[in-house]
Homo-oligomer: A and B are copies of this chain.
Amino acid sequence: MFKINSLLTAVTLACSVSAVNAWDALPREAPAPADNPTTPEKVALGKMLYHDPRLSSTGTVSCSSCHNTMLGGEDNRPNSMGVNGQTGGRSAPTVWNAAFNAVQFWDGRAESLEAQAAGPVTNPIEMGMKSWDDVVARLNTIEGYKKAFADAFGGNAISKDTATKAIAAYERTLITPNSPYDKFVSGEKSALTEQEVRGMNKVAELGCTGCHSGPAFNGPGMFQKFPMHSNGMYQAKYHFNKDLGLAEVTKKSEDEHKFKVPTLRNIALTAPYFHNGAVKTLDEAVKVMAKLQLDKELSTEELSDIVAFLNALTGEFPEQKMPVLPPTPGTTFN
């Protein structure tokens, strides 16, 4: 069905939207890497692991604690709260449509969902496990996991590699299609209001789509410097510059303040905003972005048109069954 979107999109654009760039609907399926094809067994296992707080040292924090699959894929907090009430310096990115990110984490240090999934589990302020060996040892005491891993990967399969593959396979199913925007670019012209269409045009005209383009509004480049333009007031208020971004990983001066371009999908659901969660509302975030990245002051009307359009990027959340997590009858780790 979505194979014909480009054509429909082109037709639609000719009528109502300035064709600065292609407007793509969100694919219904995410591509999987060659060494981790998506299977129902992996997805079922990954869903259990993703929601299992026993992957944390205290048994209180699961992936879903900070990347909440019942909300907008994160926790609506400036910084997430890991084990023992600890907080870090960055805001949790949404897991919804993360499968369409070219790189993961704010600093892009993971090249795949698989690599990303390995990180928080052993981060001392996130899930706090001492090592993946400890995680594997713990999972090996849960009979139901032994079976689920064998079903998904065959044999005696519990390892860091298979656990992160299963989590990534599940995350590839977390896609939110059918936003008003998607319907619009698929030919349903009444799906967007006039104001939302104005916002869509404005986003292209101003140049937001220079970085936020493609079906997930997070490409084509992987990284972008932020802020591009210095601004004393915003710096004093939001302290964006404290975080060096990619340079925290590469230690290269040319990578300072480079961040992964985040998706705009469901952006209305993921306040507060920016890598440090310093900006509480979407209105303010758009204003700040226009100033710091494009050196532009938005009029009140432009701002409300753009925010209206961004709200139209909220998709439909797939119905999910709650996993029943396999027990350790008669005993506990904790």
- A81 to chain B: closest residue by CB: B60
**Cβ of A319 under 8 Å from chain B:** yes
Residues of B within 8 A of A65 (CB): 60, 65
Known contacts A53-B68, A323-B70; A281 and B331 CB within 8 A of each other? yes
State the Cβ distance, A84 to closest chain B Cβ, in Å.
4
Residues of B within 8 A of A334 (CB): 75-78, 272
Majority SS at the chain A contact face: loop
Residues of B within 8 A of A83 (CB): 85
Asked if B269 and A327 make an inter-chain contact with CB atoms under 8 angstroms apart, the answer reads yes
State the Cβ distance, A19 to closest chain B Cβ, in Å.
28
Asked if A325 and B85 make an inter-chain contact with CB atoms under 8 angstroms apart, the answer reads no
State the Cβ distance, A310 to closest chain B Cβ, in Å.
8
CB within 8 Å of B: which of A248-268? Answer: 268
* Distance, CA A177 to CA B332, complexed state (A): 23
Asked if A320 and B317 make an inter-chain contact with CB atoms under 8 angstroms apart, the answer reads no
Asked if B71 and A58 make an inter-chain contact with CB atoms under 8 angstroms apart, the answer reads no
Copies of this chain present: 2
**Cβ of A282 under 8 Å from chain B:** yes
* Distance, CA A86 to CA B76, complexed state (A): 21
**Cβ of A54 under 8 Å from chain B:** yes
Asked if A77 and B54 make an inter-chain contact with CB atoms under 8 angstroms apart, the answer reads no
CB within 8 Å of B: which of A15-34? Answer: none
Residues of B within 8 A of A72 (CB): 327
Asked if A272 and B332 make an inter-chain contact with CB atoms under 8 angstroms apart, the answer reads yes
**Cβ of A314 under 8 Å from chain B:** yes
Asked if A59 and B77 make an inter-chain contact with CB atoms under 8 angstroms apart, the answer reads yes
**Cβ of A230 under 8 Å from chain B:** no
- A51 to chain B: closest residue by CB: B70
Asked if A280 and B76 make an inter-chain contact with CB atoms under 8 angstroms apart, the answer reads no
**Cβ of A154 under 8 Å from chain B:** no
Residues of B within 8 A of A333 (CB): 76
What are 12 A-B pairs with beta-carbon distances under 8 A?
A58-B81, A59-B76, A70-B322, A76-B328, A76-B332, A76-B334, A78-B334, A85-B85, A271-B332, A280-B331, A282-B331, A283-B330
**In the complex, the 8 A-B pairs of residues with the closest C-beta atoms, listed nearest first:** A85-B85, A282-B330, A84-B85, A268-B329, A271-B332, A76-B332, A77-B334, A320-B322
Interface of A toward B, CB cutoff 8 Å: 51-54, 58-60, 65, 68-72, 75-78, 81, 83-86, 268-269, 271-272, 280-283, 307, 311, 314, 317, 319-325, 327-334
Question: What would 20 more interface pairs be, CB under 8 Å, given A69-B322, A271-B330, A311-B330?
Answer: A54-B76, A58-B81, A59-B76, A70-B322, A70-B324, A72-B327, A75-B334, A76-B328, A77-B332, A78-B334, A85-B86, A269-B327, A269-B329, A272-B332, A280-B331, A280-B332, A282-B329, A282-B331, A307-B330, A319-B322
